[in-house]
Amino acid sequence: MRAVVCTRLGDASKPFGTPDAPLALVDDQPRQQLPSKGVRIRVSAGALNFADALMVKGTYQEKPPLPFIPGSECSGTVIEVGSGVRSVAVGDKVCALTPSHALCEEAVADEASVVRLDPSTSEARLEEAAGLPVTYGTAYLALVDRARLAPGQTLLVLGAGGGVGLAAVQLGRALGARVVAVARGPEKGAVLRAAGADAVIDSAAAGKLRDAIKAAAPRGVDVVLDPVGGDHFFEAFKCVAWGAHMLVVGFAGGVPNIPANIALVKNTTIHGIYWGSYQRKQPAVFRRSLDECAALFSQGKVSVHASHRFPLEQAPEAFAVLMNRGVIGKLLVLPRKQARI
């Protein structure tokens, strides 16, 4: 089968065949052996996350042995199941977590990480579903299981143009919250309004972020989802209501210093969110986040916005866009040769 293979550690954006390029496009990659609980998927699309670039570079906490196929999530159609598989069958349309095995024509995932989609899902929607597991699973677990977001509450989403941020905007809307989204630039703002944000703050034009948030949410915000960190965390913390929840999802802007005095006075709860660890520590909670997001997707209550689509032949270019923060929502890599960018 055709696959993108990481043969050495390095910069994933280096073109195929150039000196020190870590990635190679292979036309005859052997099919992975199917374990008893394994599911083989004919891939419609793989979705890239920033962690995939770090994995190729060798700086991520999880380090698969070389060589490996990058990509941690995909969507497609089941073409084979192991002898112990009971929850999915050949022909099912699915999305799945596929650790180090998504940028290829056929991926193998453990049954526990495969989620069935509505049988009527169109091919275009099936491609989009590749971007569902990681970002939507993370946002759902943070908002529902940790913050207990309730209808009528105000949700503030920082870095709302990214994958987790855009997922949180849609999920917040679906849960009945009032959503205030912060992102940089008018293009992201337009996407966020279309996704259901009640108020959008352009961080590049807002002046003092704290003042802009207070203007959008005069009574304070009940839940903050933050994949950014840095100064944005502190500015948002100044705007929380009594008893608010701060959801720490990432540190794209740097690791913040937490103002413990504000947390004390406002009885704020600060949550660290590492969704992947739930697969080992609380598998039932992890699985529920996948199933609920898939259900919302199948019902049309959420959708995956993919600003870029690349074929396997352009995987290094895909990584370059990802690493340069050029993605709004998700970036997809398609096994077929024609991309829609």
Can you read off the two tokens belonging to residue 153?
Answer: 């509450």
Distance CA 163, CA 228 (A): 12
State residue 143's pLDDT score.
99
Can you read off the two tokens belonging to residue 45?
Answer: 């699309």
| Average confidence score pLDDT of the chain | 95
Threshold 0.85, pTM exceeds: yes
Can you read off the two tokens belonging to residue 194?
Answer: 């279309």
SS3 content of the chain, % helix, strand, coil (to 5): 35, 25, 40
State residue 259's pLDDT score.
84
Q: How far is it between the farthest Cα atoms of the chain?
A: 61
pLDDT digits (tens, 9 = 90+) for 147-173: 999 999 999 999 999 999 999 999 999
Encode burial over 140-159: b for 16+ CB neighbours within 10 A, e otherwise: bbbbbbbbebeeebbbbbbb
Closest among 156, 341, 335 to 233, alpha carbons compared: 156
Average pLDDT over residues 88-93: 98
pLDDT digits (tens, 9 = 90+) for 119-133: 999 999 999 999 999
State residue 149's pLDDT score.
99
Place of tokens 């997922």: 167
Can you read off the two tokens belonging to residue 63?
Answer: 């380090």
With a cut of 90, say whether residue 62 has pLDDT above it.
Answer: no
Average pLDDT over residues 89-107: 94
Distance CA 152, CA 48 (A): 34
With a cut of 70, say whether residue 337 has pLDDT above it.
Answer: no
DSSP strands (E only) in 227-318: 240-248, 269-272, 306-311
Can you list the domains of the chain with their CATH numbers?
3-133+303-334 (3.90.180.10), 147-273 (3.40.50.720)
pLDDT digits (tens, 9 = 90+) for 214-241: 999 999 999 999 999 999 999 999 999 9
Encode burial over 15-51: b for 16+ CB neighbours within 10 A, e otherwise: eeeeeebbbbbbeebeebeeeebbbbbebbbbbbbbb
Closest among 298, 275, 311 to 137, alpha carbons compared: 275
